[in-house]
A = this chain, B = another copy of it.
Amino acid sequence: MTATIEHVAKLAGVSKATVSRVINGVSTVSEENRNKVKKAMKELNFVPNLTARNLRNQRTGNIAVVVPEVGNAFFSRLVQSMAIEAEKQGYQLLICQSRYKHEQEVNYLNFLKTKQVDGIILAAVRNEWEVIETYLASGPIVLCNETVQNATVPVISPNQEYGGYIAAKHLLEQGHTKIAYCMGGDDSKTGLLRKKGFLKAIQEFDLIFDEKYYFNSETPQTGSGFEDGRVLFYQIRNMTEPPTAIFTGSDEVAVGIITEAKKFGWNVPNDLAVIGFDNQPLASIIEPSLTTVDQPIDLIAQKAIKVLIEKINEGTTLKYENYEFPLELIIRESTIKTRIPTVFS
């Protein structure tokens, strides 16, 4: 059917070994034979069978990245960047969606054992480290945008705690004291770290966080995130003492809150200040434009790929290393109170 190295060898009148040599450009082959082989390859439309080569070489040139789902704006940008960088380095990126399921995650980790990939980037983790650890024997793993208790591998991630900190600090500086915190429904470390930073800022202002202002949108996979924001607004609206500001885990949720608030005649930011996370294009489009925390997604993606490939090449046992990226607060209209014209003015 498809031509193999053997057909080429026969047609060129040389051995398989010689053909292999010209394919890989290693060691030396006489000019004459090289030409004969090249001619034969062209004639037979030969392309090496990578499966066979991989088996022989014990490597695949593939790396996998596990994300919850690519429908999510953050992750879609992350994997897009990773794919580009991987390709630059001569690797093919397999994009795997765990859909927030332990089981799926393990499934993909198994790619290491089954030798389908040379290494894995976990960009969302549901399993305990003790589970993940067992896969390290089969190849390197790095964490990206996520930390796991006890992890003994490189972690490439924005400084989530700092993100929570600058967001809260900004709101506090605007004079807010009743500030709500909302994190995604996933039980990841990410949200906890942001909350830690958030609380730190609150403490610095000698305030105490009231747990009634802690929200957890339970359904990360409902789809758009907008919907979560809407629902969240209803909850806030029904409170006897609603917060005057809210920090959310994503721009979509923030936008959902804002649009719903507007429908009910609330003024953002005067009645409710809102901060998002991610600085998506959408954030500057909506009205009022959204104050948000910008993540250097591309840099993180590139670094994750680079570190993983480095580890693949080194082949040494991994240890914890932290590559931390700074976050930046982008201040827009959704948190800066406008002067309200009053009857006295």
Query: Which residues does A use to contact B, with CB under 8 Å?
Result: 2, 47-52, 54-55, 60, 69-71, 73, 76-77, 79-80, 83-84, 92, 94-95, 97, 99, 110, 113-116, 137-138, 223-224, 226-227, 255-256, 259, 262, 281-282, 285-287
Establish whether residues B80 and A69, one from each chain, have CB atoms under 8 Å apart when the complex forms: yes
How many copies the complex holds: the figure is 2
Q: How far is the CB of A128 from chain B (nearest CB, A)?
A: 18
Establish whether residues B226 and A285, one from each chain, have CB atoms under 8 Å apart when the complex forms: yes
8 cross-chain pairs, A with B, having the tightest CB-CB distances, nearest first: A224-B281, A47-B113, A50-B114, A95-B95, A71-B80, A76-B76, A51-B55, A51-B54
Q: How many angstroms from the CA of A158 to the CA of B232 in the assembled complex? A: 35
Establish whether residues A48 and B95, one from each chain, have CB atoms under 8 Å apart when the complex forms: no
Establish whether residues A48 and B2, one from each chain, have CB atoms under 8 Å apart when the complex forms: no
Residues of B within 8 A of A282 (CB): 224, 226, 282
Residues of B within 8 A of A262 (CB): 287
Residues of B within 8 A of A113 (CB): 2, 47
Establish whether residues B51 and A60, one from each chain, have CB atoms under 8 Å apart when the complex forms: yes
Establish whether residues B80 and A116, one from each chain, have CB atoms under 8 Å apart when the complex forms: no
Establish whether residues B71 and A77, one from each chain, have CB atoms under 8 Å apart when the complex forms: yes
Residues of B within 8 A of A50 (CB): 114-116
Residues of B within 8 A of A73 (CB): 73
Chain B minimum-CB-distance residue to A113: B47
Q: How far is the CB of A344 from chain B (nearest CB, A)?
A: 29
Residues of B within 8 A of A255 (CB): 285
Residues of B within 8 A of A92 (CB): 94
Chain B minimum-CB-distance residue to A80: B71
Q: How many angstroms from the CA of A124 to the CA of B95 in the assembled complex? A: 18
Interface centre among A2, A51, A110, A262 (most CB of B within 10 A): A51
